[in-house]
A and B are shown apart, each in its own frame.
Chain A
Amino acid sequence: MPTVVRLRSAVCLLDRFPALAGVDLDVEDGEIVLLSGANGAGKTTLLRLLAGLIPLYSGDAAVLGCDLSRDRRGARRGLALVGHETFCYDDLTVRENLRFAARAAGRGPGAADAALKRVGLDAVGDVVHRRLSAGQRRRLALAVAWSRDPRLLLLDEPHAGLDSEGRALLDEIVRAAPGEGRTVLIASHELDRIRSLAHREVVLTAGQATLPALVPVPAPAPEKADVAP
């Protein structure tokens, strides 16, 4: 399996403070990896580094075969980040925001409409972003990421603000990701929930990754056989 993420002694500074202090990490194609750790451990910083949104101070970092020190744009072409914000425009409708993101990624309006359906936002497609609830915004952020058809999906606390239906939908998207050729990194405090989805867990402590703890891959739920009463 090709390596999608490769970090060696990666250091990131935020206001001259080492938010990541020498992280080593390998993520293989098709893996679902849980990033866990206390608040301030560096989970968000790690995801933003991988998305090319903050610079690498020292060490080596490669995402999708692109060296982040030299070719952040190349790495971004194949990834999507669901962060704390939606990356959307308040005065554009849900559909317009999605179409902009999809077209920027070289995909047609069909991809945006499919993403809209996938996250269950078709009913509010013509509503401007500023009028969405917090949960709807989370769904839209997920749709924006999904519409780009990314090979690497970076999710930062993706369950926050979602209702139970939204959480189930998100789980379904994450569970289906390897089969669709995607690799997923999820930073979350909802450990039990994500552990049931993830192939393994990486614990960040004070900006450093400890040895990955292997988590058993959950067996797929058996399909119910149609049994005549």
Chain B
Amino acid sequence: MSLLDEVRLVAGKDLRIEARSRVTLQQIVPFGLIVLVLFAFALDPDRGVLKRVAPGLFWITVLLAALLAVSRSYTIEADNGARDGLRLSGLDGPALFLGKAAAIAVQLLALEVVLAICVVVLYGIELNSLFPLVLATLAATVGVSATGTLYGVLAAGLRVRETLVPVLLLPVVAPVLLGATRAWEAAIDGVPSDAWPWVGLLGVFAVLFTAIGMLAFGSLLEEA
């Protein structure tokens, strides 16, 4: 099987499990919506503030929801010795990494669409330029998914996985929060061309962690 076939096999497996268990739909999406609504409650008296900080609130919500998606991605490997099954499967480390990261990315993209609609409705933002916003979102999603998959496997075999992953992951994805927020600010009510350096930063981050993940995932899974 080619690398692409193996990636499709792993991502398809994870997405099929999610489609059947509906954890993303019934828990992660509502979680994200609740966080956005709570932010709106906290800052409601002044809609101008909400509008100004909407990109940051959106990406903080996405990162918090990503923690749940990453945790879920490794919880399904913990039951019935499935992680051992994955190791015995004969699939390559890079394919496993890309497959799991792709499945997380697909779930996050679906979540981001729902949250973006919610932000427009709740916070009353108006879009200035769509293209840099979409590119920034894609690059940030790939970066978060790759980093989450990498740090998720690092903690996969530990009893403290659920609490350790946020502590490890959130500081590492700080550049994504910064870059994506700035790019969104520029695309929403700034100068759209100001978004491009941030989109570049997000692209570099995504490529860097995808490459590290492809190289390291197989060895980390062996030790998990």
Contacts and interface: CB of A to CB of B under 8 A. Distances in A.
Interface residues of A, number: 31
Identify whether the interface residues of B are mostly helix, strand, loop, or mixed.
helix
B20 A87 contact: no
Given A87-B80, A90-B79, A92-B17, A103 B1 contact: yes
A73 B84 contact: no
A105 B90 CA distance: 6
B81 A87 contact: yes
B52 interface: no
Contact of A104 (B80, B84, B89): B89
Given A89-B76, A91-B17, A104-B9, A83 B87 contact: no
Nearest to B91: A104
Q: Which of A72, A80, A100 has the most CB of B within 10 A?
A: A100
B222 interface: yes
A83 B84 contact: yes
Interface in A60-111: 72-73, 76-77, 79-81, 83-92, 96, 100-101, 103-106
Contacts of B45: none
Q: Which of B21, B76, B85 has the most CB of A within 10 A?
A: B85
Interface of A: 51-53, 72-73, 76-77, 79-81, 83-92, 96, 100-101, 103-106, 128-129, 144, 148
Interface of B: 1, 6, 9, 13, 16-17, 20-21, 76, 79-82, 84-85, 87-91, 218, 222
3 closest pairs, A vs B, by CB? A87-B85, A85-B81, A104-B89
